[in-house]
Structure 1
Amino acid sequence: MINIHTMLPAFEVTDAQGGALSLTDSVGEDNVLIYFMRTSTCQVCINHLRDLAGHKAELDAYGIRVMVAIPEGQEAVARWQEKYGFPFTGIAAQAGSTHAEFGLNKKIFGSMQESGVVLADIDGVVRYTRSAVIATGAYNWPELFTAIRELTPEAA
């Protein structure tokens, strides 16, 4: 997993419509939270995203743009976005794996995709990371919110 206090990597991703964007497009404008799903159909990951959606007011108050990295590519991002309708931007790497760019690889004989969370501040500096091979360990709202509270709220 990428280290805290390093810069958010500047690489291209694709959204649900196939549009290209860079992970650093929000630098200078928004804080960025990237949730890395194990798969687009991982029920544990979907439950984590439901919880994140339930905290949308807090995320908005801190000016956080949420992106959800899906390892199966742009078509899976489009299906995921249509099926679940979360208020987040689904993304996939244009070439290779968004997950691998962050050091989230397949473990346990190459069969289990790691999942996780990365939080970067408005300057693109990574302030929080959490990852796990087993999806249940990849997300912890109280721990994440502690890191979020260290960011400057939009209302301030």
Structure 2
Amino acid sequence: MIALDTMLPAFDVNDASGRALKLTDFMGQSNVLIYFMRTSTCQVCVNHVRDLAKHKAELDAHGITVLVAIPEGAEAVARWQKKSASPFIGISAPSGSTHAEFGLNKKLFGSMQETGVVLADKTGRVRYTRGAVIATGAYNWQELYSAMTEHLPVAA
């Protein structure tokens, strides 16, 4: 998993429409939270994203843009975005894996995609991480909220 107090990688991603984005595009503009789904159909991951959506007002108050990384590629992101009606931006890597770029690799003989959360401030400095092979261990709202309040002032 990417280390705390390091910088987000200058990594290209695509949104659900296939539009190219750079993680560095958000620097100076907003704080960034990336939630890494194990798969677009992982029910635990879907529930985590739903929980994040319940806390959207708090995320917005801290100036956080939420990106949801889906490992199966652009078509899966588009399907997920349409089906979920998520208020967040679904992303995928144009080639390779967004997950691997953040140190979330496939474990257990290459069959289980790791999942996790990365929170970075406006400068791109990583302020919080949590990752796990089993999706139930990859997200904790109380921990995340604590990191938000400690490192990211409420937006004016």
| TM-score bracket relative to the smaller structure | over 0.9
TM-score by length of 1: 0.98
Cα deviation per residue 1:76-127 (whole Å; 9 max; x = unaligned)? 0000000001100000001100000000000001000000000000110000
Q: Which residue of 2 aligns with 1:21?
A: 21
Moved over 2 A (4+): none
Structure 2 Cα separation of the partners of residues 48 and 67 of structure 1: 13
* Counterparts of 1:123 and 1:110, CA distance in 2: 34
2:104: which partner in 1?
104
**Partner residue in 2 for 1:40:** 40
SS state at 2:29 partner? coil
Q: Which residue of 2 aligns with 1:76?
A: 76
Q: Provide structure 2 residue ranges, at least 5 long, that are not aligned to the other structure.
A: none
CA distance in 1: counterparts of 2:56 and 2:91, whole angstroms: 19
Query: How far off its partner does 1:11 sit?
Result: 1.1
Structure 2 residue aligned with 1:121:
121
Matched, 1:142 2:142: yes
| Aligned-residue CA RMSD (Å) | 0.5
Give the share of equivalent positions with the same residue, in percent: 74
Compute the TM-score of the two structures, normalised by the length of structure 2: 0.98
TM-superposition CA deviations, 1:1-32 (whole Å, max 9, x none): 00000001111101100000001111001000
For residues 106 and 91 of structure 1, the distance between their equivalents in structure 2, rounded to whole angstroms, comes to: 18
> Which amino acid is 2:78 matched to?
A
In 1, Cα distance between equivalents of 2:2 and 2:21? 20
- Name the counterpart of 2:8: 8
Give the number of aligned pairs.
155
Is 1:56 the counterpart of 2:28? The answer is no
Within 2, Cα distance between the matches of 1:95 and 1:10? Answer: 14
Instruction: For residue 142 of structure 1, report the CA deviation from its aligned partner.
Output: 0.1
Return the letter of the residue paired with 1:90. Answer: G
